[in-house]
Amino acid sequence: MTAKWDEIDQWAQQWIREAGERIRASFAEKLTIETKANANDLVTNVDRGIEQFFAAQIRRRFPDHHLLGEEGFGDPLEALDGIVWIIDPIDGTMNFVHQQRHFAVSIGVFADGVGQLGYVYDVVADELYWARKGQGVWLNGAPLSRLRPVPIAESVIAVNATWLMENRRLDHRPLVRLAKEARGTRSYGSAALELAYVAAGRLDAYLSPRLSPWDFAGGMILIEEAGGVVTNLNGAPLDLLGPNSVLAAKPGVHEEILRRYLSR
């Protein structure tokens, strides 16, 4: 078992580094930008090309593995049996297009639905956050510390400003109170990076009312391996086959947000 996961981990890291090189090289070329669900929901030729790159590598090296990817080059999955790679080729496409930074490649590898390997690669900073179930979480070559509880009053919490305004997905008023009572709020525009920052202790919590499995698969594995907690906004486990709300935080912070701000 160990040898098998060593091999998967080595290939995953090699492909992620190669994907990073391709993405950085793309800065010199002209982007093709299209919209998806709405005018602000962007996708580029690079998002698609990078997902196709992972799909081709995984199918060649591990033909019995399955792939779920944002851009549709994976397999139509109805269950999580066997080994499943959940991939977001570029998380934070708007940042990629507008800023050429603050975006990430995100990958989670699951065995029968249990997270085994997690990766979030900040392409421009050249920072790879990665975790292996039961063995720890690292930033490039350095191990990350185990997450410890802190009070909300000393917490820095990541939340998109959209969710602090009146919106159709959730009651924003408890979140406004949370934002006021926290030490500070941040919004980076890449769910995968925000989850990696929680795993690294740079953020104390991150929340969103709607993410897809490829947004959180890699980051969720990082946080759980670091001793943090990831659930939906009701405190229930995440479903890897559909959209979810997400609350990811240090252990005590997670409990306090659920109890004081989210329970009705």
What residues make contact with Ca ion under the rule CB under 5 A? 70, 88, 90-91, 215
21 CB-contact burial (10 Å; exposed 0-12 / middle 13-18 / buried 19+): exposed
Enter the tokens of residue 45. 């030729």
**Which is nearer to ligand 2AM, 88 or 225 (by Cβ)?**
88
Shortest Cβ 142–Ca ion spacing (Å): 26
Among 204, 215, 224, 256, binds ligand 2AM (CB under 6 A): 215
Q: By CB under 6 A, is residue 190 in contact with ligand 2AM?
A: yes
Binder of residue 92, out of ligand 2AM, Ca ion, none (CB less than 5 to 8 A by kind): ligand 2AM
Among 51, 71, 88, 224, contact with ligand 2AM (rule: CB under 6 A): 88
Does position 213 interact with ligand 2AM (CB under 6 A)? The reply is: no
89-118 binders of ligand 2AM (CB under 6 A)? 91-93
Q: Report the nearest approach of ligand 2AM to the CB of residue 239 (Å).
A: 15
**198 forms part of the interface with ligand 2AM (CB under 6 A):** no
Report the alpha-carbon distance of residue 12 to residue 15 in Å, rounded: 5
Site for ligand 2AM in 68-87 (CB under 6 A): 70
Q: How far is the CB of 225 from ligand 2AM (least distance, A)?
A: 21
Residues that bind ligand 2AM in the complex, under the rule CB under 6 A: 37, 41, 70, 88, 91-93, 189-191, 211-212, 215
